[in-house]
Amino acid sequence: MKYKGIIFDLDGVICSTDHYHYLAWKALADKLGAYFDETINNRLRGVSRMASLDIVLERYDGTLTEEEKLAAAEEKNATYRELLKQMTPADLSDEVKTTLDALRAKGLLLGIGSSSKNTRFILGRIGLGDYFDKISDGTNITRSKPDPEVFVKAAQFLELAPEDCLVVEDAKAGVEAALAAGMDAAAIGDAVSCGLATYNLGRFSDLLRVVE
């Protein structure tokens, strides 16, 4: 096979929490009196919590101290985690689970590369708490995508060279991060339109064709 390991972004690839993110950021923005809509929310995909807050605050008339920013980010995350409690294994599609099982059966190592600090919590909610071989997420990185750090560390955790890893991403910033890490990238969803990926997937199960 072409690869020894596959590193997946979480949100938008394994499952979708976009709507919960939107509701949590909207609640914070409304409290601050800052305009926020779906278009702005789309800019936050793959971006760290604090960088996301800076984007939200672009439409805020006031000024927050660093301490207030940290408090606001924590408030958003508390709201988000409460919303995530609505997630169940039903939020994991049969196609994704079947494809993951087939990739594992081929002997591939499977990892997660996500900017989210809630990665393990989300995986637990959808029934994949102990499924992946290694996880690199917002708890072990200092720079968000398109910086390659999250994928570089994922490969290190898997004990694989970058060229032996394929990254699956649904955001342009994630594809850029994968390529910057020296890895091939498979784009799915919105990332297909960026035209940067090594492969473009029409659906998740297309991965089985890519790795052969």
User: Can 9 be counted among the known catalytic residues?
Assistant: yes
Residue 103: what residue type?
L
Please list the residues that pair with 12 across neighbouring strands.
none
* Residue 110 neighbours by CB under 8 Å, 6+ apart: 5, 6, 8, 100, 103, 104, 131, 132, 133
Closest CA to 95 of 172, 197, 208: 208
Round to whole Å and give the CA distance between 67 and 89: 37
Round to whole Å and give the CA distance between 40 and 23: 12
Of 11, 137, 147, 170, the catalytic one is: 11
Please list the residues that pair with 136 across neighbouring strands.
113
For the CA atoms of the chain, what is the radius of gyration? 17
Q: Find out whether 6 and 165 touch, Cβ atoms under 8 Å.
A: yes
User: Can 11 be counted among the known catalytic residues?
Assistant: yes
Closest CA to 14 of 105, 120, 145: 120
Active site residues: 9, 11
